[in-house]
Copies of this chain bind each other. A is one copy, B any other.
């Protein structure tokens, strides 16, 4: 089934959405919000699935579903842990900021906790105080977990994945070097992120979902021009089970924890770290990667970071070309506008 939160109050109003994202039906009688549903998943997952079935057969009262009326599926979440599971990306971005790749990068996942009490809806503007911050997008896959005990292993973690979706993890590249030099990780450099209109249960993904990875291309465009379409499954060094287990090593995870894959990234088949879409490559899921490849090729980055007014669009389509999660489409705006 596919779930969304229409904008309403701080936590949205839960609706079940049709597979083709054209119709929705109110789920208030089952759970008022997605967080409430996740808190009580064992009891409500069945009734929600029944409602999705009724919607599919025209047997439930329904209304037109508009992606722009959506809040993030979890407008505020108690935990947002963003991994960095595509080592190609980690290697490139660190090169781009002149940092060394840690020696354990293939066995010990990178992960930080980001802000999640003001998650942006799929069509919300992204407010930033200054273009000088080096505004970038990062297109990623996310999963939402059930409750996980401290010490849960990767197999248990895979079984606790309730929902899958997309995120635009907004990053302020020019704030990162100074912030990381302080040693406490990201804070100011990672403002609120925007999420896809719907999150879906793994069964909606068919054989594209292998239990821990999503094997489909992730499409990112800036101002209507394709930035990248890397395949999200094949080069994901740490699957979601490994990422969740890493987080649970010293903490339990509450229901509704959002785990991010990190920027989806592919090496080029010719062995280079990535080729632009314009040259037949799979491109990039963030501008920083493109700039790094330009630096390697031409000695300097040519593509600027995002400016006010620029629009980032992130989407994933199934093998028949149908959108799975709807589209994230965020305009960058000056904060306070």
Contact = CB atoms under 8 A, between A and B. Distances in A.
Interface of A: 10, 39, 76-79, 81, 84, 94, 99, 102, 104-105, 108, 110-118, 127-129, 133, 150-151, 172, 175, 178, 180-192, 246-247, 249-254, 256-257, 335-336
- Secondary structure at the A interface, as helix, strand, loop or mixed, is loop
A82 to B, nearest CB: 9
Given A183-B102, A184-B111, A172 B250 contact: yes
B151 A182 contact: no
A17 B257 CA distance: 32
Given A76-B78, A188-B249, A192-B252, 19 more contacts: A76-B254, A78-B78, A78-B116, A79-B117, A81-B187, A84-B184, A99-B183, A104-B182, A108-B182, A111-B187, A115-B251, A117-B253, A117-B254, A118-B252, A118-B254, A127-B150, A189-B250, A190-B250, A192-B251
How many of these chains are in the complex? Answer: 2
Contacts of A175: 250
Contact of A180 (B79, B104, B115, B183): B183
Contacts of A192: 251-252
A145 B88 CA distance: 40
A111 B184 CA distance: 7
A183 B98 CA distance: 13
A257 to B, nearest CB: 7
5 contacts: A76-B254, A79-B117, A111-B187, A185-B186, A188-B249
Contacts of A183: 94, 99, 102, 110, 180, 185
Contacts of A150: 127, 129, 191, 335-336
A332 to B, nearest CB: 13
Given A181-B102, A185-B186, A151 B115 contact: no
B113 A250 contact: no
Contacts of A94: 183
Nearest to A247: B187
A134 to B, nearest CB: 12
A144 to B, nearest CB: 13
Contacts of A250: 128-129, 133, 172, 175, 188-191
A112 B184 contact: yes
Contacts of A186: 184-185
Top-8 shortest CB links A-B: A185-B185, A78-B117, A117-B254, A191-B250, A113-B113, A112-B184, A188-B250, A79-B117
Contacts of A254: 10, 76, 117-118
A243 to B, nearest CB: 11
Contacts of A257: 117
A34 to B, nearest CB: 14
- Central interface residue in A116, A184, A251, by most chain B CB within 10 Å: A184
